[in-house]
Amino acid sequence: MEENEDSEIIEHHVNEEMEKKGFRTRHTHLFLESVTLSEREGYSTQPSHRLLAYSDALISIIATVMILPVAHTKFQDNEELKESLQQLLSTKIAVYLMTFLIVTVAWAAHIRLFQVIERIDDCLALLNLACMMLITFLPYTFSLMATFPENILGILLFCTCVIVIGLIQAVIVAYGFSHPFLLNDQIQISENQGFYKRHILKVILRVPAFCFIAIIFSFIFFPLSYVLLAFVTFLPYISQSLKWCRSKAIGQLEDTPDSMLFYSYHPNEPLSKERVEAFSDGVYAIVATLLILDICEDNVPDPTEVHHKFSGSLIEALQDFGPEFLAYFGSFATVGLLWFVHHSLFLHVTKATRLMGLLNTFSLAFVGGLPLAYELTHEFPRNSRNELEAIQISCVIIFFAGIFQLAIWVAALFDERETLHPYVHYGGRDHAFMFAKLALYPCVALGTFFVTCALSKFSAPVFHLTQIGVPFVFLLLRLLVRLGLAILRRLFCPTPPPTHNALEEEDPRLPFNDLVT
């Protein structure tokens, strides 16, 4: 029922727009002909949202997978954490972060592609699955490259995957433009479809071309191919900043506003908000359950061992695993609450931009490290130097995960009319509340960090207290914010300013809207 209504709305909307613009060019005619023709042949298109949700789930799993080799590195008890950590930092964490970056770059390319192609058919769905299979294989080729930096096999495999992914995407674009009813409505009714097609294909095929050159160089002088690959990854950012510099220098405006909508790599380029949410949900869900995966697999005690070692007492045997359970509940709660903050933020976001997506990626990369940090926290004997350092690392990770979430909001505030709901605009009803939600975790993490520095003996109790306290603070946050604002008002302006009243009067205008949406 609802979907029918939706489709009617869209249909109506399209017709209206076509009539309003008043052009029924040859392209549109051709398009309408092709529709009826394909309909006659029994051709059926499908909405793409579920395909995209499935792709998001796959990519988010793959992006967070590379934390597992880091998490499963066993520390020797007599070894100092610092040394082993430095060894970890040098290889595995770098691999994790780079893989996360590369997979999210592939994901961003996927978003861009399916913002152009809005409807799919069976053929596109199967092509997309093939593309997904190769994307999920990327982390392995990358970790091969990182483990054997001087062997060209890693580069060859990686580049081959990227080239095939690029070619499949090019085929998808070509297929989409040859069946125009699959395309975005805006491109569908646009006069210069050919220009769009060339522009998009050029952007997509640039990456395989560079990878092909990297393969050739890998046979001649392989360090150059690494430089080339790094260049490809950061190419959009480089070209965008170059463009920005040029436009500042010459003072020229955007060349063709029509072409800037898709594949522009502009920081304000729209990013499908639904897909950012779906990808983030996937990452948060995997990260929250990473530890229980380990627990379910490894921490069910062996019956014979319980019988011999603990004389049949299961409770004693389970006490050995106590720290793991604590780590699980702690990390689940922290990841869950960070998800909650993210959820609250994106409730008020009306349009996501590329910059916000980038900041979100950074935040998620830190969230991915949380289970590892929590596992470390509980792995060492009480009051050891290692324990203190593990707790401080956890605080640092939480701090960065939270601060990047706050940065998303700040980035959105710069263009608040377009990207945010009026409630959270500067001076809006929920502005202070949203700020408190976003600032809570960074503040708590920073506070815990300095308290543990000062009171290193009580680091574990302090850490556990904050873990237990934070959920309750979130529950009572609205009250606390109101209290804090009231106190601030008392201190700085004893009589409420008239602007505030004006804001409060605006509220009753949208009484039902807020309830229903």
In the complex, least distance from residue 461 CB atom to a copy of itself, rounded to whole angstroms = 22
Is residue 346 a contact point for a copy of itself (CB under 8 A)? yes
In the complex, least distance from residue 76 CB atom to a copy of itself, rounded to whole angstroms = 18
Q: Are 103 and 158 in contact (CB under 8 A)?
A: no
In the complex, least distance from residue 337 CB atom to a copy of itself, rounded to whole angstroms = 7
In angstroms, rounded to a whole number, what is the distance separating the alpha carbons of residues 63 and 369?
12
Structure letter (DSSP) for residue 192:
-
Is residue 423 a contact point for a copy of itself (CB under 8 A)? yes
The contacts of residue 501 (CB under 8 Å, 6+ apart) are: none
User: Which residues, numbered 178-197, are part of the site for a copy of itself (CB under 8 A)?
Assistant: 181
Q: At 267, is the secondary structure helix, strand, or coil?
A: coil
Rule CB under 8 A: choose which of 167, 205, 295, 413 binds a copy of itself. Answer: 295
Is residue 129 a contact point for a copy of itself (CB under 8 A)? yes
User: Which residues, numbered 498-517, are part of the site for a copy of itself (CB under 8 A)?
Assistant: 507-508, 511-517
Cα 346 to the chain's mean position, in Å?
12
Q: Are 299 and 324 in contact (CB under 8 A)?
A: yes
In angstroms, rounded to a whole number, what is the distance separating the alpha carbons of residues 218 and 234?
20
Rule CB under 8 A: choose which of 29, 47, 79, 458 binds a copy of itself. Answer: 47
| CA–CA–CA angle 449, 371, 364 (5° rounding) | 85
Is residue 133 a contact point for a copy of itself (CB under 8 A)? yes
In angstroms, rounded to a whole number, what is the distance separating the alpha carbons of residues 193 and 184?
11
Q: How many residues form the binding site for a copy of itself (CB under 8 A)?
A: 106
Rule CB under 8 A: choose which of 323, 422, 447, 471 binds a copy of itself. Answer: 471
For residue 45, give the amino acid letter.
Answer: T
Measured over the CA atoms of residue 421, residue 359, residue 263 and residue 154, the dihedral's sign is negative
Is residue 164 a contact point for a copy of itself (CB under 8 A)? no
Q: At 259, is the secondary structure helix, strand, or coil?
A: helix
In the complex, least distance from residue 472 CB atom to a copy of itself, rounded to whole angstroms = 9
Rule CB under 8 A: choose which of 122, 254, 255, 506 binds a copy of itself. Answer: 122
The DSSP element (H or E) to which 420 belongs, if any, is none
Which range touches a copy of itself (CB under 8 A), out of 197-205, 238-246, 472-480, 485-493?
Answer: 472-480
User: Which residues, numbered 375-414, are part of the site for a copy of itself (CB under 8 A)?
Assistant: none
Rule CB under 8 A: choose which of 161, 162, 183, 278 binds a copy of itself. Answer: 278
Q: Among all chains, which residue has been given the structure tokens 């029509």? A: 258
HEC assignment per residue over 365-411: HHHHHHHHHHHHHCCCCCCCHHHHHHHHHHHHHHHHHHHHHHHHHHH
Rule CB under 8 A: choose which of 98, 286, 391, 436 binds a copy of itself. Answer: 286
Two structure tokens written together for 205: 């095929």
Rule CB under 8 A: choose which of 24, 82, 198, 343 binds a copy of itself. Answer: 343
Structure letter (DSSP) for residue 119:
E
Rule CB under 8 A: choose which of 260, 306, 326, 446 binds a copy of itself. Answer: 306
In the complex, least distance from residue 238 CB atom to a copy of itself, rounded to whole angstroms = 29
Is residue 158 a contact point for a copy of itself (CB under 8 A)? no
Rule CB under 8 A: choose which of 102, 111, 113, 143 binds a copy of itself. Answer: 143
Rule CB under 8 A: choose which of 332, 362, 399, 400 binds a copy of itself. Answer: 332
**280 or 452: whose CB is closer to a copy of itself?**
280
User: In 3D, which of 122, 198, 127 has the Cα closest to residue 168?
Assistant: 127
